[in-house]
Structure 1
Amino acid sequence: MEIEKLRRPSRVPVEVAGLQVNYCRNTLCSNFGVTPGERDRRNRSAAAQDPAYVMTGGAGALMPTATCGLCKESFPLKSNLAVAEEMARLSAYLAPIPELGCPDQECAHWGKAVSTHPKLYQGFGSTSAGSRRFRCKHCTKLFSIPTSSTPRQKRPDVNALVYRLLINKMPMRRICETAGIGPQTLYTKLEFIAERARAFAREQESQLLRGKVLPPLLLSTDRQDYLLNWGTSADRRNTRLHGVGTADNRSSYVFGMHLDYDSRLDPGDIELAALECDDYGILPPFRTFARLWLKRDWNSQQMIQRRRYGAAKKRGIAVAELDEEVQSPKWGGDDTKLPGRGMKVRDDYSVFGHLHLIAQLTAGSPHVALYMDLDPGLRAAAHTAFREKILEGRADTFQVRINKDMTIDTKSLAVAQAKQRMARFARERGIEQAAASRCFLEEHLSRRGFVERWQDRWVDHPSPDQGEPEKSLLHLTDRPDLTDARRADLHLWGSLHGIDRFFMVLRRRQSLLERPISSASSSGRTFMGNNPYRPWVVEAVLDLLRVSYNFHHVGKDKKTPAQRLGLADRGYALEDILAID
């Protein structure tokens, strides 16, 4: 079969709005932060004035990659336009709401508000709900300005009750019965509550973009999957969405929880636009719609096999021992489908956009330590998002490896053995047991010395807990000028418990996000009675739960995460969150 030759418009994706993410990810390499030049050649005799990269791939299904000529590390090229678009999508809730004016974008008065340009508009009575109506003097379009804080809400008295039930794991049908509303009213209120939650977050978190001073942060980043039910028996495939979140381990504040789904886009319009600009004939990093999953890419045999292979590995099937003829029937129907409405974002660009937004929100912190799950995509995104801070020595990144296959008994045994080792070490050194872990790490790191190759820097945590047994950390941004004491502290603080705790709250407080259970006869398919059918519902639930978790729920210290971070001076009732205008 002949492999289709895809076009490559340039050697490297062009910079967009000052954003360039294509450079060596090794923080000790001189090419870290240095973009491959347009005149790089495929050999070591590249021009001296250009960064020493070798560009490979791009033939057929091969993803174009760049290999650093100094440290020999390779990385796939990414679309800067896609990263910029994803950042804009995820940070849209932080943008100030424009004042109302003419709704017609083709009109000369578009963008000119009634409050600042009153002579451009004529009063035109009011709506049945009491909102003031205006007419544009240029295009004669009518529009209204709501006077109520709860527009289109016939039962605003139950909004707080619905919010409270949504974050306390009550199924949707039971919420309808308890609140005395119908299903369509519930979905309307869900959308309204999520919008109010985003508006409340905008009011509180906009000060972070203005450079609010924050304490040193210990951030943890991880990902979580969500399965949606199929809506028709004609296609019994689930839709799988990926969420990525980042939280502060000290305050428990969740800076972001984002889904790889864009509800604003129409799949039909995007497919037509992709065909018009010939996106299918261009290599993925150079496409106009590089951040989105197009149908032909998603349904390609290569991608189907890759998804089935990953699902088979999770189910414990020895896929390496299967020949090609029996692979598909043996693996079963583990494939998933794209959402019917909205567009699924490629998860690598979702991670890039997420961590670039986190970098902006945490700019006021003097130092950021970022602990990530063992995922190469997270490392690449983190090193591009925090590049300036890493070069200044004000950011450190770690990968955390945890044995997740242990039973309760083996976890308890591992923690008990670790405590015994630290108690014995404390007695031998004549120190307090509370200081044993730090002293042990400092001695170990001093004996080992600085390790040049970043892949060889794994260190076992001396004091794992029940939630993270057999924990190891890899210091990605280690450098020779760090003291052993500082290295010991950064390793000792390493944990994913901040974001994992929020993930646990999501599962326990919202029935829509429960873990799926597959039966032996379902061939990997799962149908969950409480799980949603519409992707935007998951997006809305994540937003309203994040806001209530940060600003409403208090811990044992009687403070919310926002109070501990210094972002709020009190806890907020759900009614306060909904009252935001």
Structure 2
Amino acid sequence: MQRYQCKVCKKKTALTPRRDNSITYNQKRSDIHHLFAKLLLSRTPVTRTCEILEIGRGTYYDKLELLYRRCLEFLERHETKPLQKLEFKEIWLNTDKMTYYLNNVRQKGMGGSRYDDVEETQFPTNILVSADVLSRYVFRSDVAYDWETTLGDIALDTVLQKEDHLNEFAKKYARYPKYSHYPMPPSANDTQSQSDYYKELAQVERRMKYTDGLHVGSTYTTVAHLWLIKQLVKAPEWRFVTDEDNSLMTSINRVFSKEIRLSDAYHFLCQTDKTKTRKQAREEFIQARVDLVNWGTMRGFGTGSLRKLAFLQLQELFEHHHFHKEVSTASGTHFEYADNPILHPLATVDRGLRSVDCTTNLSSLEPKDVAALIMNVNDNATNTFIQHIRRRLSILERPLTTARGDGKSYIYSNFNPKYAQKAITILRTYYNFCFAYKSNGTMETPAQRLGLTDKQFSLKDIIYLR
């Protein structure tokens, strides 16, 4: 560390060392932080990482939590503060859900032959991802799981507040679909039988022997997810792109009800047929390109730009095509969603053609304005980040085929969703500020394209933040 001495009184002063110069300050083996981060983001399993770094499993998770805190500090300086100063004309937000399987393991002391009552071995757990369509900047990524609340807390509140006699919407723990209250013995006026009570109680007691925490409802998590983004990003106009998921559509309508009512927010549906093979998708891509060029030639347009031709074709289509229909009633007329999607003229080589629809009313816009909006509708932003989660995080990778070939193995799935949340936050920080991709002839990170920063950061900038 740097030391200074006064020339008059000869008193010496030592400065606190910087993070990149300190070896023993607040952390043991701090020299392995950079390599640990690279191994974590390279889909290296926990056991292999411990062997390479010569550390124990407890140290591994300590390093993971330390790296998570450093990422939060980095995001506070380079994401939260810059976004408070920026105001966007409009934001294109693509939201999607990813499902991964959490290994359901017994707690310590709950195993052995005495515990024959077995629960499901895997828990389908949802991860919500929201990213900017144009820059691919990921604003948030949240796991729909609460690892802090226990069934003991629910049991205490059920006894004190009689929550088993309340409607579902009035319960304190209504966000947990299966465990909104703890089973209580039926009273004289209850319609529940003793056998139903003991059956429900056995299910809850069996769950208490397994992984801590409870799954949170998708709609509840999505509402909180979008509300936090709304507080973070300043924009007068919003454009949403999702698939036909009821929890996503319901949450958007709740959080942005005022903006939708004032026509400051539009919601688009973007869906692809996932049963296509790669060969079929490529054939659709080639055929769509040929059809677009032939259409431009027949109309006499002197341009070879596929994007410009697609815009002109959509402008012509929306002269007569509408996503909403006008309904007449005794009190007047109004517009209703017509469920009338179209095929986007620009196909992709890996997924082929995609269908596009709009659930909000676009009747006040001109055909050219509707065409300009439809041109931007795609789900590439969330798909790219979800693929990075699958390919870069070992605990969240796709299941492996067993040696027998008769099933799937989730051997690398994690046991605690808390670490899944922290690993995704670390990956999100790296993806936004360190991972550059080429587009329109420039090599920039998503944060640079969004306008948050003018430089590409490295892992060392995150770990050793000054």
- The bucket for the TM-score relative to the shorter chain is 0.7 to 0.9
Residue 232 (structure 2) pairs with residue 361 (structure 1): yes
Over the aligned positions, Cα root-mean-square deviation in angstroms equals: 2.8
Residue 393 (structure 2) pairs with residue 510 (structure 1): yes
> What is the aligned partner in structure 2 of residue 346 from structure 1?
217
Residue 370 (structure 2) pairs with residue 487 (structure 1): yes
* AA partner of residue 430 (structure 2): S
> What is the aligned partner in structure 2 of residue 190 from structure 1?
64
1:424 Cα deviation from its structure 2 partner: 1.1
Which of 317, 321, 334 is the equivalent residue of 1:444? 317
Distance, in Å, in 2 between the alignment partners of 1:245 and 1:184 is 29
Residue 258 (structure 2) pairs with residue 374 (structure 1): no
1:489 Cα deviation from its structure 2 partner: 1.3
1:151 Cα deviation from its structure 2 partner: 6.6
Distance, in Å, in 1 between the alignment partners of 2:76 and 2:146 is 19
* AA partner of residue 135 (structure 2): S
> What is the aligned partner in structure 2 of residue 565 from structure 1?
450
> What is the aligned partner in structure 1 of residue 148 from structure 2?
264
Distance, in Å, in 2 between the alignment partners of 1:298 and 1:503 is 36
* AA partner of residue 231 (structure 2): Q
- With over 3 angstroms needed to count, the CA separation of the structure-2 counterparts of 1:271 and 1:433, relative to structure 1, is farther
> What is the aligned partner in structure 2 of residue 302 from structure 1?
none
Within 5 Å, which residues of 2 pair with 1:185-264? Answer: 185-207=59-81, 210-214=84-88, 216-232=90-106, 235=118, 237-264=121-148
1:523 Cα deviation from its structure 2 partner: 9.6
* AA partner of residue 125 (structure 2): L
Secondary structure of the structure 2 residue equivalent to 1:341: coil
Which of 35, 41, 45 is the equivalent residue of 1:171? 45
> What is the aligned partner in structure 1 of residue 352 from structure 2?
469
* AA partner of residue 310 (structure 2): S
1:152 Cα deviation from its structure 2 partner: 4.6
Secondary structure of the structure 1 residue equivalent to 2:424: helix
Secondary structure of the structure 2 residue equivalent to 1:447: coil
8 Å Cα contact 1:171-1:512 kept in structure 2: yes
1:410 Cα deviation from its structure 2 partner: 0.7
- With over 3 angstroms needed to count, the CA separation of the structure-2 counterparts of 1:520 and 1:353, relative to structure 1, is farther
1:249 Cα deviation from its structure 2 partner: 1.9
Q: Deviations over 1:418-451 (max 9, x none)?
A: 1121111100111124222111111111122563
- With over 3 angstroms needed to count, the CA separation of the structure-2 counterparts of 1:174 and 1:298, relative to structure 1, is farther
* AA partner of residue 261 (structure 1): Y
Which of 266, 275, 285 is the equivalent residue of 2:169? 285
* AA partner of residue 74 (structure 2): F
Distance, in Å, in 2 between the alignment partners of 1:149 and 1:445 is 64
- With over 3 angstroms needed to count, the CA separation of the structure-2 counterparts of 1:215 and 1:283, relative to structure 1, is same
Within 5 Å, which residues of 2 pair with 1:23-102? Answer: none
Distance, in Å, in 2 between the alignment partners of 1:173 and 1:450 is 53
8 Å Cα contact 1:238-1:337 kept in structure 2: no
Which of 517, 520, 528 is the equivalent residue of 2:410? 528
> What is the aligned partner in structure 1 of residue 432 from structure 2?
550
> What is the aligned partner in structure 1 of residue 340 from structure 2?
457
* AA partner of residue 281 (structure 2): K
Structure with the larger strand share: 2
Distance, in Å, in 1 between the alignment partners of 2:251 and 2:350 is 26
Which of 280, 283, 296 is the equivalent residue of 1:413? 283
8 Å Cα contact 2:319-2:367 kept in structure 1: yes
Secondary structure of the structure 1 residue equivalent to 2:318: helix
- With over 3 angstroms needed to count, the CA separation of the structure-2 counterparts of 1:578 and 1:476, relative to structure 1, is same
Distance, in Å, in 2 between the alignment partners of 1:150 and 1:441 is 63
Distance, in Å, in 2 between the alignment partners of 1:351 and 1:462 is 31
Distance, in Å, in 1 between the alignment partners of 2:24 and 2:351 is 45
Distance, in Å, in 1 between the alignment partners of 2:371 and 2:462 is 41
Distance, in Å, in 1 between the alignment partners of 2:412 and 2:461 is 29
- With over 3 angstroms needed to count, the CA separation of the structure-2 counterparts of 1:292 and 1:208, relative to structure 1, is farther
1:518 Cα deviation from its structure 2 partner: 6.5
Secondary structure of the structure 1 residue equivalent to 2:319: helix
1:540 Cα deviation from its structure 2 partner: 1.1
8 Å Cα contact 2:323-2:357 kept in structure 1: no
Distance, in Å, in 1 between the alignment partners of 2:350 and 2:89 is 26
Distance, in Å, in 2 between the alignment partners of 1:150 and 1:217 is 45
Give unmatched runs, 5+ long, in structure 1: 1-129, 131-147, 300-335
> What is the aligned partner in structure 2 of residue 81 from structure 1?
none
1:155 Cα deviation from its structure 2 partner: 1.2
1:455 Cα deviation from its structure 2 partner: 3.6
8 Å Cα contact 2:323-2:338 kept in structure 1: no
Q: Deviations over 1:516-569 (max 9, x none)?
A: 246699997x54222211111111111111111011112233321111101122
1:360 Cα deviation from its structure 2 partner: 2.2
1:274 Cα deviation from its structure 2 partner: 3.2
Identity %: 27
- With over 3 angstroms needed to count, the CA separation of the structure-2 counterparts of 1:274 and 1:469, relative to structure 1, is farther
> What is the aligned partner in structure 2 of residue 500 from structure 1?
383
8 Å Cα contact 1:208-1:361 kept in structure 2: no
- With over 3 angstroms needed to count, the CA separation of the structure-2 counterparts of 1:262 and 1:296, relative to structure 1, is closer
Distance, in Å, in 1 between the alignment partners of 2:357 and 2:24 is 50
> What is the aligned partner in structure 2 of residue 57 from structure 1?
none
8 Å Cα contact 1:162-1:175 kept in structure 2: yes
> What is the aligned partner in structure 1 of residue 202 from structure 2?
none
8 Å Cα contact 2:239-2:266 kept in structure 1: yes
- With over 3 angstroms needed to count, the CA separation of the structure-2 counterparts of 1:566 and 1:463, relative to structure 1, is same
Q: Deviations over 1:36-94 (max 9, x none)?
A: xxxxxxxxxxxxxxxxxxxxxxxxxxxxxxxxxxxxxxxxxxxxxxxxxxxxxxxxxxx
8 Å Cα contact 2:343-2:356 kept in structure 1: yes
1:162 Cα deviation from its structure 2 partner: 0.7
Distance, in Å, in 2 between the alignment partners of 1:216 and 1:296 is 39
Distance, in Å, in 2 between the alignment partners of 1:383 and 1:468 is 29
> What is the aligned partner in structure 1 of residue 270 from structure 2?
400
1:570 Cα deviation from its structure 2 partner: 1.4
> What is the aligned partner in structure 2 of residue 76 from structure 1?
none
Secondary structure of the structure 2 residue equivalent to 1:292: coil
1:230 Cα deviation from its structure 2 partner: 3.1
8 Å Cα contact 2:99-2:127 kept in structure 1: yes
Q: Deviations over 1:317-360 (max 9, x none)?
A: xxxxxxxxxxxxxxxxxxx9786212321111011111122222
Distance, in Å, in 1 between the alignment partners of 2:458 and 2:87 is 26
Give unmatched runs, 5+ long, in structure 2: 1-15, 17-21, 184-205, 326-335
Distance, in Å, in 2 between the alignment partners of 1:149 and 1:220 is 42
